[in-house]
Amino acid sequence: MNLTQVQPNVARRKRRKRAARGLGGWRGKTAGRGQKGQKYRGRGKVRLGLEGGSSPIYRQIPALRGRSNRAHNIGIFRKEMAVVNVAQLERFEAGAKIDPQVVLQARLVSKLRDGLKILGEGELTKPLTVRAHAFSATARKKIEDAGGTVEVIGQ
């Protein structure tokens, strides 16, 4: 068999729905177009976003210009941090020095993004020296209560 012998399955081919003629037809009289109006007449093409006499939604929303956080909902200056919980640091041995590269090699995160943030979910029993770009208040407290130290890396 080659490509010249391939044919579509005739049983699966569907015929176009034909606008019936006359009132008795399944799609007779208005042929499913409703009554009058722009989409009833002619080809019935109405451009996307047209709302009749109303001002279209894309013109109602004010244009957000500039490079400020207020101008963009997503916050263009927001930092996207890689997050690790205190409970995940329990796998390291006591006295270990943990920094973003060690966390990356241990595959606790797949990408560092804009920095590493340590959160306080879970418990920590070993004293560790943790260097990261940010710490939550509970994470800082749990690390220090376990006898460890916290160092913030400046960017």
Kindly report, residue by residue over 102-149, the tens digit of the pLDDT.
Answer: 999 999 999 998 999 999 999 999 999 999 999 999 999 999 999 999
Single pTM value for the model: 0.55
Domain boundaries along the sequence of the chain = 82-152
- Tell me the average pLDDT of the chain: 86
10-19, 39-48, 58-67, 94-103: which is most confident: 94-103
Residue 66's pLDDT band, with cuts at 50, 70 and 90, is low
State residue 144's pLDDT score.
95
Q: Which CATH number fits domain 82-152: 3.100.10.10, 3.40.50.150, 3.40.1410.10, 3.30.1490.100?
A: 3.100.10.10
- Tokens linked to 14: 């569907």
